[in-house]
Homo-oligomer: A and B are copies of this chain.
Amino acid sequence: MTPEAIIETLKTLVDTDKVRTDSESLTTWGKDWTKQFEPAPLAIVFPKSTEQVQALVRFANEHKLALTPSGGRTGLSAAAVAANGEIVVSFDYMNRILDFNAYDRTVTCQPGVVTAQLQQYAEEQGLYYPVDFASAGSSQIGGNIGTNAGGIKVIRYGMTRNWVAGLKVVTGAGELLELNKGLIKNATGYDLRQLFIGAEGTLGFVVEATMRLERAPKNLTAMVLGTPDFDSIMPVLHAFQGKLDLTAFEFFSDKAMAKIMDRGDVPAPFETDCAFYALLEFEAVSEEIANQALETFEYCVEQGWVLDGVMSQSEQQLQNLWKLREFISETISHWTPYKNDISVTISQVPAFLRDIDAVVGEHYPDFEIVWFGHIGDGNLHLNILKPDAMPKEEFFAKCASVNQWVFEIVQRYNGSISAEHGMGMTKRDYLGYSRSAEEIAVMKAVKAVFDPNGIMNPGKIFPA
């Protein structure tokens, strides 16, 4: 079938005006937030119904055409990049909230609903959708499910996985499956829903999702604590976790803090200079709880784990403390950083971080490393800033070897080479550092069950 004939047929499968092939559209919908791969899709299609999605999948199967799912395109692993003539299936026009049930605390969405839209909708019902992260304003629920999105509240609320009560999916074979139907308890065989969460669109398309909502948090209160070294952060986490239900426990280094201070628009939390900072958050539901937080803070100071600290006393102060952490990514983007999103078990974080610091420092002493991340769940974001004088090409060539060293260390610590961004194309060739050959073989066989012709987002997750 010629490309022209394919495009003509696509126009019969979705609404005629919902097939785009102009070069601007191909570029826009052919990629996510990564820049490593050139987008080169054949066409972009915008289905408006489950039936249209099924028709697309059936057509793709007949002619062995590759389909790439596209949500808010905020991914950081190139899982939504169509670099090889794929047909991009965008869910921008399947973006309605279909149902809400107050007793079940569930909301049924089409996959194109934007995360912030769901958060807002939940708020309007007096409830809360707790998965939150920097790109919530653009990312879509379907994409969140595809990457099992995490973010800043995982320590309390878990990943997207925890909030998926039911999924309707169109498999790579074109079958519509209704998985788990919004139930809480359901012991009727394998929970296939779980396979689609984090599958990066390689098994099929999510065409409807029933998401759980939660009680809205009350009187969120943050503390920022300065520590003399990284190791001290661990007993601080442990001490607070023993006393309070933390809704977040983030960390960042003095280098990150310095960059934020240089902006000039975020107030310093306190005067004392510290090597590392922890930002923790909890619901101060009563004075008793707030006092427990202060007592634990004092205890940590006595132990020498904390040098200085501050607790928010207002919504404004809460927001300001969060800016210290949330502005880091945007602020350091100026130095076109090498980034890596990795995880180990919490207890291993200090040694792990030291090992990576050592190997990078040994080879590239002039590289500046900026650490931050969600230490409450073992997820570290490693950022290496490009020295101003170094050309981009040289910097990224050197960082290719950093990748290798980092993943070798991850493997030694039994960690994950992708904590929350997925494998996509950026990490697929390193899959073996986190999953055994036997696991990878099983994963491929599982994919073949759902997608026998391999049309669903080929080239993602698995090594090329």
Using CB atoms and an 8 Å cutoff, list the residues of chain A in contact with chain B: 101-106, 126, 147-148, 150, 154, 158-159, 161-162, 171, 175-179, 181-192, 194-195, 197-199, 203, 215, 234, 237-238, 241-242, 245, 285-286, 288-289, 343-347, 374, 377-379, 414-423, 427, 431, 434-436, 438-440, 442-443, 445-447, 449-450, 461-462
Contact = CB atoms under 8 A, between A and B. Distances in A.
Copies of this chain in the oligomer:
2
Given A103-B346, A414-B181, A445 B438 contact: no
B190 A103 contact: no
Contacts of A416: 181, 183, 185-188
Contacts of A420: 185, 187
A379 B184 CA distance: 8
B188 A423 contact: yes
Contacts of A346: 103-104, 184
A362 B30 CA distance: 61
A289 B436 CA distance: 49
Given A104-B346, A449-B445, A423 B189 contact: yes
A183 B347 CA distance: 11
A243 to B, nearest CB: 9
Contact of A238 (B103, B288, B438, B450): B103
A181 B414 CA distance: 7
Nearest to A430: B188
Contacts of A189: 198-199, 423, 431, 435, 440, 443, 461-462
Interface of A is mostly: loop
Contacts of A414: 181-182
Contact of A188 (B161, B344, B431): B431
Contacts of A215: 241-242, 245
Contacts of A105: 241
Nearest to A155: B184
6 contacts: A101-B345, A103-B238, A178-B436, A185-B419, A190-B203, A286-B286
A154 B182 CA distance: 15
Nearest to A171: B442
B286 A187 contact: no
A183 B423 contact: no
Most chain-B CB neighbours within 10 Å: which of A126, A150, A189, A190? A189
Contact of A377 (B159, B184, B347, B438): B184
A147 B190 CA distance: 10
Contacts of A415: 181, 183
B187 A422 contact: yes
A445 B438 CA distance: 18
Contacts of A427: 188
A305 to B, nearest CB: 14
B419 A187 contact: yes
B439 A192 contact: yes
A389 B352 CA distance: 70
Contacts of A421: 187
A417 B186 CA distance: 8
Contacts of A194: 191, 194-195
Contacts of A436: 177-178
A184 B154 contact: yes
